[in-house]
């Protein structure tokens, strides 16, 4: 199991919150300009590494597990998803990065991943900003359908274009669709802006507004940011950051809960990795995968089979390998020593989310920063 390989890099030494990971420690190479150093000394608590921004996709949700199209549907994390988020936090704790603020969507699979990551890092105190412009792309009328069944009906190439191409959206969502966001109270003041379906081009247009109005000014002030998002809204941000061409973005996929850290120059363009090469997992990125390129590549290969390989009958998100990985990760993370963390774990980590039906929890947007 690919995530087991990431977990297998865990240290056996104790940290404040239990066992900590030996994720990639980010080197302090290619020092920033004197202006950036001056900004960092006053604006950021991240003085031990030169990394400016880190992207993390949320942990496994119930519909990830069930291989269903999700979009704006507010599916919760599974217990495996909680573990994935905690391992991501352990990797970040071991990397030496510290964040000044975090940004995420209005969907609870991202919000909870953010909280768990920051708990593992001991950084619950930083501001966490939530906004609908960081929501997952709308999958239109595909929402709720099993991905592999859709592949069987429409073919691999069509589904890949719907999922990964730049400008081909899925069929629009019917107004009476069971999972239409118009029925969700958190969007009651923006009904006219709810998309019926989105291509990545549409998702990029709305995430660009958030980047320009919120993320970029924070980065320019010298702050270090954590962005916890969904695969496609992160793809849209990374596409812009890396300058990936529309015809090439179809080849970029992102794993769940593996931090991707970037060093940026004064113009907010990516600096090369310390080895001077693009990542081996995707062959497209200047960022550093804290779980290692090999492990990320293995995850992406599994995810591809889960969706497109109709000869694979079993659900690769479940089964004996997943159970082994879960037990090993629970043992590796260990029981937390901090009492407040332990109380939170008892109420969140160890309950069965899959058998729990939660009501919608409205969450506030940034006050006046982005419309």
Residues annotated as catalytic (active site), given as ranges: 58, 136
Q: Rounded to whole angstroms, how far apart are CA atoms 301 and 40?
A: 39
Strands 101-104 and 18-21: unpaired
CA angle 161, 67, 346 (to 5 degrees): 135
Kindly report the number of other CB atoms within 10 A of residue 148's CB atom: 20
User: How many whole angstroms from its chain centre is CA 327?
Assistant: 23
Categorise residue 195: left if φ over 0, alpha if ψ from -120 to 50, beta otherwise: beta
What tokens appear for 29 in the block?
């190479």
Burial class of residue 85, CB neighbours in 10 A (0-12, 13-18, 19+): buried
Kindly report the number of other CB atoms within 10 A of residue 301's CB atom: 13
Contact 59, 317 (CB under 8 A): no
Q: Which residues contact 328 (CB under 8 A, 6 or more apart)?
A: 4, 7, 8
Q: Rounded to whole angstroms, how far apart are CA atoms 14 and 83?
A: 18
Please tell me whether residue 128 adopts helix, strand or coil conformation. Answer: strand
Contact 154, 129 (CB under 8 A): no
What tokens appear for 303 in the block?
């995810």
E-strand ranges in the chain read 10-15, 18-21, 53-57, 101-104, 128-130, 225-229, 260-262, 288-289
């Amino acid at each position: 199991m690919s995530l087991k390989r990431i977990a297998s890099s865990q240290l056996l030494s104790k940290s404040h919150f239990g066992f900590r990971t030996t994720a990639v420690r980010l080197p302090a190479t290619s020092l920033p300009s004197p202006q950036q150093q001056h900004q960092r000394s006053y604006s950021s608590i991240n003085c031990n590494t030169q990394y400016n921004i880190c992207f993390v996709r949320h942990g496994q949700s119930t519909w990830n597990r069930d291989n269903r199209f999700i979009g704006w549907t507010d599916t919760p994390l599974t217990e495996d998803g909680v573990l994935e988020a905690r391992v991501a936090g352990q990797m970040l704790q071991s990397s030496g990065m510290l964040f000044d603020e975090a940004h995420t969507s209005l969907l609870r699979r991202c919000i909870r991943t953010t909280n768990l990551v920051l708990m593992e890092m001991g950084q619950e105190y930083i501001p966490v900003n939530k906004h609908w412009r960081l929501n997952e792309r709308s999958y239109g009328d595909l929402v709720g359908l099993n991905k592999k069944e859709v592949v069987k009906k429409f073919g691999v190439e069509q589904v890949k274009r719907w999922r990964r191409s730049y400008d081909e959206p899925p069929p629009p969502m019917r107004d009476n669709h069971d999972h239409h966001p118009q029925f969700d109270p958190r969007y009651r003041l923006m009904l006219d802006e709810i998309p019926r379906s989105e291509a990545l081009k549409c998702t990029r247009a709305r995430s660009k507004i958030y980047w320009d109005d919120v993320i970029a000014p924070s980065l320019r002030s010298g702050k270090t940011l954590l962005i916890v998002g969904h695969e496609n809204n992160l793809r849209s941000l990374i596409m812009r950051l890396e300058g990936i061409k529309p015809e090439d973005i179809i080849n970029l996929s992102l794993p769940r809960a593996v931090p991707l850290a970037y060093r940026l120059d004064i113009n907010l363009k990516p600096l090369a990795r310390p080895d001077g090469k693009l990542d081996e997992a995707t062959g497209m990125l200047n960022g550093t995968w804290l779980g290692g390129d090999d492990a990320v590549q293995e995850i992406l290969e599994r995810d591809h089979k889960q969706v497109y390989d109709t000869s694979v009958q079993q659900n690769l998100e479940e089964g004996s390998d997943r159970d082994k990985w879960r037990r090993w990760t629970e043992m590796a993370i260990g029981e937390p020593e901090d009492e407040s963390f332990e109380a939170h774990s008892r109420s969140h980590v160890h309950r069965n989310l899959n058998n729990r039906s939660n009501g919608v929890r409205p969450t506030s947007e940034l006050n006046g920063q982005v419309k």
